[in-house]
Structure 1
Amino acid sequence: MTTEKLPTVPTLAARGITVGPLSATDVEARAGEVTLVAVEGGQRADFLALMLAGRMTPKAGVVELDGREDPKGLRKRVAIVDAPDTSAPADSLPLASVVTEELVFAGLRAPRRATRKLLADENLSDLASTPIGEVPAAARIRVLTRTAAAHPDVDILVIATPDRHGGDTAAWYDTAHAWAARGYTVIVLASAAAVDAAG
Structure 2
Amino acid sequence: MYCLNYRSLMPNLLDTKNKSLSILVVCTGNLCRSPMAEIILREKIRQQKLNISVSSAGTIKMKGKTTPDEKALQALLSQGYCLAVSQVRQITQQDFIDYDLIYAMDKTNLADLIDLCPLSCRSKLGLFLSYAPTKEKEVPDPYQRNMKVFHQTAALIEAGAQALIEYWGKNGVATSHNAITNQESMA
TM-score, reference length from structure 1: 0.29
TM-score, reference length from structure 2: 0.30
Q: Which structure has the larger Rg? A: 1
